[in-house]
Chains A and B, each alone.
Chain A
Amino acid sequence: MSGRVVVIGVGNPLRGDDGVGPAVVEALRGRVPNDTVLVVSDGEPARMLDLWRGADTVVVVEALRTPQARAGELHTLTPAEAAGHARGTASTHAFGLGQCLALGEALDQLPPRLVVHAVEIADVALGAALSDAVRTALPELIDRATASVRQANERHHEPS
């Protein structure tokens, strides 16, 4: 095991709540060990597969759009749960995180551990800032991502 921990904030900071992933990554600087890899991505699958190559634990922070739209509600998903929702995506690349995970699985390129922390979003208008609902949920989302990084490090440093 490499012990390498990668946190990927997926989203576009110029599209309102879609910027929540990048916002979490920014907030993690200084809160997690220096050897944690913190990156922002547009979620494009080849780049995602590249980012988690060789990683032991990957933490993905993503915006979530649901028909119910309870903005601010948090979800923690396994890769299987996220991949299971690949269908019916209306995402811009039409190749959302769900499909990206399914592709990684089909190619045997998933990291040993991967967790998705997501928040339901309200608004993806151009240039807008985070909505109130998502901003209110941000501290808890940051805590969840920080906890995932801490657990990964504890696991790695446990005497085997």
Chain B
Amino acid sequence: MNQRGTHVLRLDALARVEGEAALRLRVEDGSVTETRLSIYEPPRFFEAFLTGRGHTEPPDITARICGICPVAYQMSACQAIEDACGVTVDGPLAELRRLLYCGEWIESHTLHISLLHAPDFLGHADAVGLAREQRPAVERGLRLKQTGNAILEQLGGRPIHPVNVRVGGFYRTPAPEDLRPLAERLRQAREDALETVRWVAAFDFPDAECDHDLFALRDPGRYAVDSGTPAVMVGHDQGTAPREIQLAAFEQHVQEGQVPHSTALTATLDGRRYLTGPLARYAINGRWLHPLAAEAARDAGLGDPLTGAVCDNPFRSIVVRAVEVVQAVEEALRIIDGYEPPPRPAVEVPPRQSLGRGATEAPRGLLYHRYALTEDGTLTEARIVPPTAQNQKAIEEDVRRAVQARLDRDGPAADDDELTHLCERAIRNHDPCISCAAHFLDLTVEHT
């Protein structure tokens, strides 16, 4: 033990984390006794805002919750409304939705890997320093991300807050020749994605492990993105069978509670702390990766996904994300190669008095929506359970462990700067999307 007395560390603004958050850490006599992640999270505002709106509006309104993962919000919203109305969207329309979602995975993951997370491993304060030293790697990341943007722009109508998505499908669907230039870019992106896996796999990773329950959609036969049943894996032993939870029973298992220090609700699954996102998806869906992505995972030291390998070092989540980018690129190419235009851009979704639920895999993890509709389609209730609120307890536990491990280490005591950096890293491992909110430039101006 190298720290005596009580010590409180506060991080009021976390760097390189999407959204707004703060962390408070209490150390008493060398033990971490409290970690509190405060999240300022707008979905609650949106839940209230949606009430009274029409049943076709949630995809457009909820897309505004996040500029990094608007497609996730749109897809969970569409599925929930379609579930309420008893409509199934399948065939080419479902494939196009999945293609759009792949674009978002590529874009969001690559932003995090190349610009936000990599500087942690390479001793840079931010992406600017990294760009000066490793320009080709940052350029590769930007190129890859722009390919994701191009998919969003082609299918979504514009790169942020897509406007072409509607309940039942799309307003306009592309002709096969519209998608050909995307396929060209994706073939280049495949090389960039594989190179990115090799790049991050060579980083130096701190020893760490987590024991959270893992929670992800499971869709036997394919790596879950926008389909499947929620499944939880308790214990990280390779080959542990996940237990499925019917979507209709989601809120009986996932319980959200209010804590005073955060505007986000914090969730437990059957009363236990759990993690959603890349580590959970990889453990539960790894065996259904495309061969190229599975090979990249094996070569990167993530074990053999085909036999249910689990990665439980949160610092290695950057490698899993990089593998998921390869997967998204492969999946996007598969969809474009087999694309035949649907007969209509959307199916009719007539309203009825009902309750509907939808869940998809946002880049950061499982995103659940539930809506109650009246006969004429007016929304009387909306419920949104975003991944970061689900991960809050897991992130706090990771921070506690990381700091405790540092305090337990022999040698010079850690100063606040070192602990701050360590906490930020432990949080960034989960790419928390504390939601897109305001975006402004901080500036000191001297008025005379």
Min CB–CB distance A24 → chain B (angstroms): 14
Q: Are B444 and A91 in contact (CB under 8 A)?
A: no
Point out the residues of chain A lying under 8 angstroms from B128, CB to CB: 86, 99, 102-103, 106
Chain A residues near B20: list those with CB within 8 A: 90, 92
Residues A15 and B49 in contact, CB atoms below 8 Å apart = no
Chain B residues near A120: list those with CB within 8 A: 445
A91 contacts B438, C-beta separation under 8 Å: yes
B444 touches A66 (CB 8 A): yes
Contacts A42-B160, A95-B16 known; A88 to B439 CB distance under 8 Å?
no
Nearest-CB distance from B438 to chain A (Å)? 4
A66-B14 CB under 8 A given contacts A12-B437, A95-B116 = no
30 contacts between A and B (CB under 8 A): A11-B440, A12-B436, A14-B64, A44-B68, A46-B111, A46-B145, A47-B160, A50-B149, A62-B440, A62-B441, A64-B441, A65-B440, A66-B442, A66-B443, A66-B445, A68-B447, A85-B444, A92-B434, A92-B438, A93-B68, A94-B18, A96-B442, A98-B442, A103-B131, A106-B131, A106-B132, A107-B135, A107-B138, A118-B443, A127-B45
Give the contacting residue for A96; candidates B132, B441, B447; CB below 8 A. Answer: B441
B126 located at the interface, meaning its Cβ lies under 8 Å from any Cβ of chain A in the complex: yes
B-side interface residues toward A, CB under 8 Å?
12-20, 42, 45, 49, 64, 67-68, 107, 111, 115-116, 126-128, 131-132, 135, 138-139, 141-142, 145-146, 149, 159-160, 434-445, 447
Among B107, B128, B138, B145, the most chain A Cβ lie within 10 Å of the Cβ of: B128
Contact assessment for B142 and A43 in the assembled complex, using a CB-CB cutoff below 8 Å:
no
Q: Which of A86, A121, A126 has the most C-beta atoms of chain B within 10 angstroms of its own C-beta?
A: A126
Contacts of A50 in B (CB 8 A): 146, 149, 159
Q: Contact residues of A with B, CB < 8 Å?
A: 10-12, 14-16, 18, 41-47, 49-50, 62-68, 70, 73, 75, 82, 85-86, 88-99, 102-103, 106-107, 118, 120-121, 124, 126-127
User: Contacts of B18 on A, CB cut-off 8 Å?
Assistant: 92-94
Asked whether A92 and B443 contact (CB < 8 A) given A46-B142, A106-B135, A127-B45, the answer is no
Residue of B with least CB distance to A92 = B437
Cβ-defined partner of A95 (8 Å) among B115, B139, B141: B115
Partner pick for B441 among A15, A89, A124, CB 8 A cutoff: A89
Majority-rule SS of A interface residues = loop
Nearest CB of B to A37, in Å: 13
**Is the CB–CB distance between B441 and A97 below 8 Å?**
yes
Knowing A68-B445, A99-B126 are in contact, say whether A47-B438 is a contact too (CB < 8 A): no
Q: What's the nearest-Cβ distance from chain B to residue A70, in Å?
A: 7
For A21, the closest partner residue in chain B by CB is B439
Bound-state Cα–Cα, A97 to B442, Å: 9
Chain A residues with Cβ below 8 Å from B445 are: 66, 68, 73, 75, 120
9 residue pairs, one from A and one from B, having the closest CB atoms? A124-B438, A42-B67, A106-B131, A18-B438, A90-B13, A15-B438, A102-B128, A85-B443, A89-B442
Question: How far apart are the CA atoms of A124 and B19 in the complex, in Å?
Answer: 13
A91 CB → nearest B CB, Å: 5
Residues of A within 8 Å of B14, CB to CB, are 94
Chain A residue with Cβ nearest B20: A92
Q: Which residues of A contact B438 (CB under 8 A)?
A: 11-12, 15-16, 18, 63, 91-92, 124
Distance, CA A102 to CA B12, complexed state (A):
24
Residues of chain B within 8 A (CB-CB) of A70 are 447
The chain B residue sitting closest to A40, CB to CB, is B160
Nearest chain A CB to B406 CB, angstrom units: 23
Once the chains are docked, how many angstroms separate the CA of A18 from the CA of B447? Answer: 22
Query: What is the bound-complex CA distance between A66 and B45, given in angstroms?
Result: 26
CB contacts (< 8 Å) of A89 on chain B: these are 441-442
Chain B min CB distance to A6 (Å) = 14
